[in-house]
Amino acid sequence: MNSLSLKQFQDQVSELLLRHRSLLDVLSKYTQSGAAVQRSVAKGITECGCIQVHAGKQHYSTEMTIEDAKKLLDTHMAGELCENCTEIISAEIGRNLFYTASLCNLLGINLETVLEQESKRCSTLGFFNMS
């Protein structure tokens, strides 16, 4: 089975999006779908309990090597998503991707190009990309 390309997905979204064609509608649905992703993860913690959050201050020093930081810095997460939570969160992420593609379509942005540019930026900036 061939994997779906971002271009094919973006084209499919363009054909399917009928009701919310307004930029303002797409922006609000994009924001709403992001909140739904966050809410579904929170439910995995608070209702299902398959994952837990154990958060505290991250102890980081500028003298640390990258390898030391990788070993020391924590995700604050324990456990693994159960099958049900994986299914729900995946569906919410899918909706978010749908509205991301919709936003790109309305603004004339190629999603594959965005991904390629972000990948290049990550490669160039490396570990300091998101700091």
pLDDT per residue over 57-103, tens digit each?
A: 888 788 888 888 888 888 899 999 999 999 999 999 999 999 999 99
Pairing outcome for strands 51-53 and 77-79: antiparallel
pTM to 2 decimal places: 0.84
Band of pLDDT at residue 4, cut at 50, 70 and 90: confident
CB 78 within 8 A of CB 51: yes
Q: Which of 2-6, 22-26, 46-50, 55-59 has the highest mean pLDDT?
A: 46-50
**Counts for the chain of helices (H) and strands (E), in that order:** 5, 2
Distance, in Å, from the CA atom of 105 to the CA atom of 86, rounded to the nearest integer, reads 28
pLDDT > 90: percent of the chain: 64
Structure tokens at 117: 């540019």
